[in-house]
Amino acid sequence: MRVPEQWAGAASTILSFFFILDMIRRWCPRELYRRLTTFLLELDRYFYPSIRVSIHEFTGSNLRPHEAYPAVEAYLSVNSSKTVKKLKAEMVKDRRKLVFTMDENERVIDEFQGVQMTWISSKTRTPQGQGGPGTLYSGNPEPERRHYRLVFHKRYRELVFGPYLEHVIKTGKEICQRNRQRKLFTNGHHRSSWSYILFDHPATFETLAMEPEKKTKIIKDLLTFKESKDFYARIGKAWKRGYLLYGPPGTGKSTMIAAMANLLEYDIYDLELTSVAGNTELRRLLTETTGKSIIVIEDIDCSLDLTGQRKKVAGKHPPDVKKDMGKSSKSGDKGESSGSGTGSKVTLSGLLNFIDGLWSACCGERIIVFTTNHVDKLDPALTRRGRMDMHIKLSYCSFEAFKVLAKNYLQLEDHPLFQSIRNLMEVTEITPADVAESLMPKSPDQDAERCLRILIQALQEAKEKQEAEEKQEAKKEVKEKECDKVSLWVLLRKYLTPYTVFHLDPAICVQRE
C-alpha cells in the first residue's frame, strides 16, 4: 500500500471510532455507559500508568503567584543547565549572576532515590480578561501562563507526594533565597496594585551614623525577629513586628529602612497611603504582599488625617467608638470618613486593622515601619506596643555618629580637628544629613582636612543660629510673662478699688498707665 492510501485508511478508522463512540453515548443506557467509561479509564491506566502533577505560575481566582512555582523553577535550573537544549538566561542577585531555566516544551529528567521523574515545561494561553486590574501582575501584558508538569509512574506515588516534592520545594527555596533579587514595591501614582523595581540601596547598619549601643540593640532585635518563627507560633502571635522611626528631617529614618532590608534580605513595600482608595483596597494590597518583607509608611502624620480621629469620635459618643470603628472596617468603604482632602478614604480603623487585624497575619515574616517627624501628633492607638513594638528615635548628630560618617566619607578614624568638632557637637544641633553634606568632597582635589574645616564652619553657623533663636525665645518668654502681669492688672482693676491696687503693686500701675 502507498503512503496516501495508508493515511486515508487511518483517517477513516478514527472517524469510525468517533462515530461509534457518539452512537454509544446517545443510545447506550446511562449505567452501562458509566461502566464502560470506567473500564476505558482503567484500560488507559494499565497501558499508561503515569501520574501527572501540574504546578502553575499563578493560582486561585485572583491569580496570585503560586509559591511553589519559583521553587520548582529554581530546583530544575540546576539540572536544566546540564541537559536541556533550549534555555532561558536570567540575571539574578543584584545583576551579578546568570541563572538558566528551561524554555517552553523542554523536558528534564531528575533522579531521586534511584527513581526517574520527568519534568516538562509548558505554556497555556489565558482566557480574555485575566491578568487585568486586581491581580498582582496586572501590569504584565503576557497573555500566556507557564506551568511545570511532573510525570512519574504510579507505583512511586507515595515517594513523590511525600519525600520527593518536599525535597524539591525545600531545595528550590534555598536556591531562590541564594539567588534572590530584592524588590522595592510601590502602589504610588494611584495604581491599585503593586509595581516594583529592583532594590539596590547601598545603606547598611555599618554605614548608618548612630550611637553604637543603640545600633547593636536594633540589629539584635531584627535578627532575633528573623529567627523567631517557632517562637511566634508557640506564643500564638502573627510573625510580624512594628517599628516606629521618629525624629527631625535628615536624621536617617529612610536610610535605616534600607539598612534593615539589607540586613534581613527582605523586600520593601513602600505604601503610599494617599493613593489607596479605601480600607478594602488597603486590605487587598496587604494580602498581595509576600513574606520576608518590610512594609513602609513614610511620614505617617502627613499621609492622611489619621491623627486623633479616634479622639474626636470618642469625644462625641465614647461608648460607640469601637462599634463605629468595627463597622467602618467591616462594611468595606461605605461610610468611611475621608482623609485630609487627599481623595483617599482610608480610616484610622482601617489602618489599625491593616497592622494587626486578622488579615495582617496572612503571610508571616513581615516588618511594618512607620516614619514621622512629629511623633506627638500620632494617635496613641497607632503607636502602642503590639502595633509599633519598637520606638526608635533618630536624633541630631552625636560625636559617635559623626565618627561613622567620617569613616564612610573620608576614611578617617581620627584627626586633630576631631576634638573641635566634638566640642561644637556637644552644644549644637546638626542633622547627620547636614554633616554628610559637609563631608562630601566637592572636587577631586578636596582633601579630608578641607572637608572637616567645612564641617566646623557649618557647625559654627548652626551654633550661632541656635544661639540667636534661643535669645529670641528668651525675649518672647519675658514678653509673655509681662503680658501675664498686665492681664492680672486689668483683672484686678476691674474688681478692686484703685486704692487697693496702688498698694498691691505700684510698679504694675506705672507700667500700665
Ligand X SMILES: Nc1ncnc2c1ncn2[C@@H]1O[C@H](COP(=O)(O)OP(=O)(O)OP(=O)(O)O)[C@@H](O)[C@H]1O
Residue among 132, 249, 318, 386 that touches ligand X (CB under 6 A): 249
Report if residue 436 touches ligand X, rule: CB under 6 A. Answer: yes
CB of 322: closest distance to ligand X in angstroms? 33
Residue 68 or 367 with smaller CB distance to Mg ion: 367
Report the distance separating Cα 11 and Cα 489, nearest Å.
115
| Least distance (Å) between residue 436 CB and Mg ion | 14
Report in angstroms how near the CB of residue 373 gets to Mg ion at its nearest.
9
Nearest position to Mg ion, beta carbon = 254
User: Out of ligand X, Mg ion, none, which partner does residue 300 contact, by CB within 5 to 8 A per kind?
Assistant: none
Rounded CA separation 337/452 (Å): 52
- Cα angle vertex 363, ends 358, 365, to 5°? 110
Which one of residues 254, 275, 307, 438 is an interface residue with Mg ion (CB under 5 A)? 254
**Amino acid found at 353:** N
- Binding segment (CB under 5 A) for Mg ion, from list 113-121, 246-254, 320-328, 379-387: 246-254
Q: Quick one: which segment of 204-212, 253-261, 418-426, 475-483 binds Mg ion (CB under 5 A)?
A: 253-261
Nearby residues of 185 by Cβ (< 8 Å), 6 or more positions away? 194, 195, 196, 267, 268, 269, 270, 289
By the rule CB under 6 A, 370 interacts with ligand X: no
Among ligand X, Mg ion, none, partner that 432 touches (CB below 5 to 8 angstroms by kind): ligand X
User: Contact between 319 and ligand X (CB under 6 A)?
Assistant: no
> Is 252 among the residues that bind ligand X (CB under 6 A)?
yes
Coil, strand or helix: which one is 65? strand
From 116-124, 245-253, 402-410, 502-510, give the range in contact with Mg ion by CB under 5 A. Answer: 245-253
Are 117 and 50 spatial neighbours (Cβ–Cβ below 8 Å)?
no
Q: Which is nearer to Mg ion, 255 or 344 (CB)?
A: 255
- Contact between 255 and ligand X per CB under 6 A: yes
Question: Strands 240-246 and 267-270: what pairing?
Answer: unpaired
Whichever of 136 and 436 has its CB closer to ligand X, that residue is 436
Q: Which stretch binds ligand X (CB under 6 A): 78-86, 119-127, 179-187, 249-257?
A: 249-257
According to CB under 6 A, which residues from 49 to 88 bind ligand X? none
Q: By CB under 6 A, is residue 373 in contact with ligand X?
A: yes
- Return phi, psi of residue 496, to 5°: -110, 165
Q: Which does 210 bind (CB under 5 to 8 A by kind): ligand X, Mg ion, none?
A: ligand X
Per-residue binding letters, 494-513, with ligand X (x by CB under 6 A):
--------------------
DSSP string, 113-129: TTEEEEEEEEEEEPPTT
Is residue 100 helix, strand or coil? strand
> Which of 74, 117, 210, 363 contacts ligand X by CB under 6 A?
210
Question: Considering CB under 6 A, how many residues would be counted as binding ligand X?
Answer: 15
Q: Which is nearer to ligand X, 160 or 455 (CB)?
A: 455
Q: How far is the CB of 299 from Mg ion (least distance, A)?
A: 7
Cβ atoms 396, 270 nearer than 8 A: no
Residue among 188, 423, 470 at smallest CA distance from 303: 188
All 3 cell numbers of residue 504?
498691691
Helix pair 253-264, 212-226: axis angle to 10 deg? 40
Contacts of 25-33 with CB under 8 Å at 24 or more apart are none
Match 512594628 to its residue by C-alpha cell: 242
Widest CA span in the chain: 141
The dihedral through the CA atoms of 123, 129, 130, 136 has a sign that is positive
CA 450 to chain centre: 41
Q: Which residues bind ligand X (CB under 6 A)?
A: 208-210, 249-255, 373, 394, 432-433, 436
Q: Which residues bind Mg ion (CB under 5 A)?
A: 253-254
